[in-house]
Amino acid sequence: MTRRTIVSMPGDGIGRVVLEKTIRVLQAAGFDAEYIEADIGWEFWRKEGNPLPQRTIDLLEKYKIALFGAITSKPKEAAAKELSPELSNSGLVYSSPIVGLRQHFNLDICIRPCRSYQGNPLNFIRRGKNNTVEEPLVDVAIFRQNTEGLYGGVEWSNPDDTVYAALTSHPKFVKNFGAVPREEISVSTRIFTKQATLRILKAAFEYAKKNGYKSVTLCEKPNVIRETSGMMFKLAQEIQKAEYPNIALWNTNIDAQMMWLTKNPENYGVIVAGNMFGDIVSDGFAGLIGGLGFACSAQMSDEGIAVFEPTHGSAPKYADYEVSIVNPIAMIESACMMLDYLGEKEIAVKIRKAIATVIREGKTQTYDMMKMTGTPDVIQKGAASTQQMADAIIDHL
């Protein structure tokens, strides 16, 4: 096995502890790599006015692969108040470093698998026939377009003359908002491009083909958002007909999908959506497999750069606990996605089997798995610490 160099980006809050435990698991499983820590997150915003320093971008450009923990993000005004005194009132505006990474490296393909583990007490259950209890197997992969849409960052408050003139050129804007004072208007755009939309659709169909899924579901809102969602649905129809006739194409509206995912989640295989709706539906399905403690993700570009991260946040209220209580499985699963990407599938399988064994046995459970509130005393009440969960997984490797 070739020795790899992995850029390690702990970020903020619990990001550091879950990433540290994950690297221990990787090492115990036999993955031979050098980890170079990179600066990213709230500390560097406060000290330098930049949560994504150029030195971190340079590292990722050089080594291509990164494991990322979590970041803290706050609204514009709150972020400005936390700048160091010498940077205050300097016109700096906070923007999410992970969004910055996505856009700088065009990490437009985001994959969020949601698979339930047998024996997880947090798995979704439902009432079946004759008052029985059913626990459907959830095995869904959400493909989220990662750089465009509502997260593209093209926004205005009190739009200038050029923007306002463009808005007033649309008759519906004039009819519905023409009487609103300009200074009371804020606008966020939802931009889809054909090239990026084709890439995420083809990635979803290819994944379905490679992994034996029988359907790809487009989860958008083409009946209302006709231009963007409509374009995506039309392209999906063309791709399915021309290149993937043996894979069914389903079309669901995001609102209806959020109802159906708790009605018949086992019916879905691969789901593809734009940025915002992909974010929403992936968190919905994550809730069916245990929540954000089990939700992993990968984001990659066609330039060979890939970042692997859990979808949870930095949970700053837990970061200062004397003993860390957070569930590291989402971060460990994200590392398994990295192993898959690097072709180290045997090691990934070994780690996932160890996770499955720990969950099935039920002897080691973090506070979320025990349905406790995340207070510092959960360890005394029988919950496993972050380290104990990592140790249990290592013991089963």
What residue spans define the domains of the chain? 1-108+300-397, 124-151+191-288, 155-188
Whole-number Cα distances in Å, 241 to 194, 211, 235, 258, 329: 18, 19, 10, 27, 38
The pair phi, psi for residue 157, each rounded to 5°, is -115, 140
pLDDT of residue 1: 54
- CA–CA separation, 293 vs 327, rounded Å? 5
pLDDT of residue 77: 86
Decide: 266 and 227 in contact? Cβ < 8 Å.
Answer: no
Residues in the chain with pLDDT values less than 50: none
Tell me if the pTM is above 0.85. yes
Q: In 3-state terms, what secondary structure has residue 12?
A: coil
Q: Which residue, 334, 331, 327, 322, is CA-closest to 388?
A: 327
**CATH number assigned to the domain covering 124-151+191-288:** 3.40.718.10
We find that the CATH architecture of domain 1-108+300-397 is: 3-Layer(aba) Sandwich (3.40)
Q: Which residue, 120, 136, 112, is CA-closest to 290?
A: 120
Residues 6+ apart with CB under 8 A from 64: 304, 305, 306
